[in-house]
Chain A
Amino acid sequence: MFDWWQRIVDSLVYGKFGLDSKSALGSALDFFLFDTAKIFLLLTVIIFVVTVIRSYFPTEKVRDYLEGKHPLVGHIAAALFGIITPFCSCSAIPLFLGFIQARIPLGVTFSYLISAPMNNEIAIAMLFALFGWKITALYIGFGLLVAIVAGIVIGKMDLEDEILIKPPAAKPPKLEEVKIPFKERAKEAWDYTKDILKKVWLYIIAGVGIGAFIHGYVPTETIVKYAGGDAWYAVPIATILGVPMYSNAAGVMPLIEVLTQKGMLLGTALSFMMAITALSLPEAMILKKILSIKLISIFFGVVALGIMAIGFIFNAILS
């Protein structure tokens, strides 16, 4: 899809600048120019399109749909809705309580709460830009699986008493649907896209910059020795390392791309990416206001186990 752009960059770096394509500097610069332009283009397009689609699926509508559904249907639908609804960890509390208020089971609520941040628009756009649609589909597919299974497990554990604030007893009133013309949705989506780009551009440049440096200067053997290989502890370490990186997902993804090219196994990389988006410390801090430490620990523990299982299975199948 971007072969034409690769040719332009190649002729610029190796032709105009006269750098050797075998040299570290040449290949690092080539990689940097190619990746940054590709990422920003795809990021802009994907975030804009996803945001327009999402404006048709407010969380209130999802809640009304999930209300009173069979639990299994609920888990699957909740995880799927996580892909197409907007999610911000700042509204995790009203979202959580709103679901419980509508008598949606705790486990189904968690299926949604796991899927929504994992399938955030930045992560999906970066994955698509860096790894292509196959890996993106694998990420989304297995992410849904983790969300569904972890939700079912949490739902079976009778943890309803671990919710510290009880939502109002009355069912939530149905909100009137506000008709918004498409033009306005598009304008809002464009403003939102610009906001996101303003927030992440520096991380992306830094991430791709470090990635380009590794690409050009660090030998593959070093990466395989420290970050890759089939050592059993690679997956758990990648999962734990992912936890504090939530806000920097955009900057970390380019690094993962380089690490996989240099020998990090795909399962390890998938675990790493899922841990970055699904296990977020800021979100845990916010949820602490309404959930007991026990419930939050179980939530993190179950999701972490699921993510690691996927890493192990993948590494086993592909190696």
Chain B
Amino acid sequence: MKIEILGTGCAKCKALEENAKQAVAKSGKFALIEKVEDITKIMEYGVMSTPGLVIDGKVVSTGKLLSVDEIAALIS
């Protein structure tokens, strides 16, 4: 599983990355977490409100700081 965090470096984006790491650790799954800061790549996903969360190439959330539990629900 591949999880991508889309964000150009705002505080919320960093917090989302942190929550994603914790959610993965909690779930016990094997997942690759990648922070995408390149604006062109973010645009290719069609996301305009950061932070965005992408799981296996699919945008599941935009403009929201999801909690650890919310992310855990999305990856399970």
Contact = CB atoms under 8 A, between A and B. Distances in A.
Contacts, number: 68
Interface in B1-58: 8, 10, 12, 39-40, 42-50, 58
Contacts of A297: none
Contacts of B59: 175-176
Contacts of A58: 49, 62-63
B46 A86 contact: no
Contacts of A168: 40, 43-44
Given A59-B48, A60-B47, A86-B49, A94 B60 contact: no
A26 interface: no
Interface residues of A, number: 27
Contacts of A295: none
A95 to B, nearest CB: 5
Given A58-B62, A178-B60, A95 B10 contact: no
A91 B46 contact: no
A101 interface: yes
Contacts of B63: 58-59, 86, 91
A135 interface: no
Contacts of B43: 94, 97-98, 101, 167-168, 172
Interface residues of B, number: 21
B20 to A, nearest CB: 17
A188 B58 CA distance: 23
Given A60-B62, A178-B60, A90 B50 contact: yes
A94 B47 contact: yes
A98 B41 CA distance: 12
Interface in A152-176: 165, 167-168, 170, 172-176
B15 to A, nearest CB: 12
A91 B39 contact: no
A174 to B, nearest CB: 7
Given A178-B60, A178-B61, A91 B40 contact: no
B46 A175 contact: yes
A97 B62 contact: no
Contacts of A174: 46
Given A58-B63, A86-B49, A168-B44, A94 B10 contact: no
Interface in A108-140: none
A96 to B, nearest CB: 9
A317 to B, nearest CB: 39
A210 interface: no
A99 B46 CA distance: 10
A95 B49 contact: yes
- Of the candidates A94, A101, A165, A188, the one having the most CB atoms from chain B within 10 angstroms of its own CB is A94
A240 interface: no
Given A60-B48, A86-B49, A175-B47, A97 B39 contact: yes
B49 A93 contact: no
Contacts of B12: 90
A50 B10 CA distance: 23
Interface of B: 8, 10, 12, 39-40, 42-50, 58-64
9 interchain residue pairs of minimum CB distance: A172-B46, A98-B48, A90-B10, A173-B46, A59-B48, A94-B48, A95-B48, A91-B50, A167-B43
Interface of A: 58-60, 63, 86, 88, 90-91, 93-95, 97-99, 101, 165, 167-168, 170, 172-176, 178, 188, 290
Given A91-B50, A94-B48, A172-B43, 13 more contacts: A60-B48, A60-B62, A90-B12, A90-B50, A91-B10, A93-B39, A94-B43, A94-B47, A165-B40, A167-B40, A170-B44, A176-B59, A290-B39
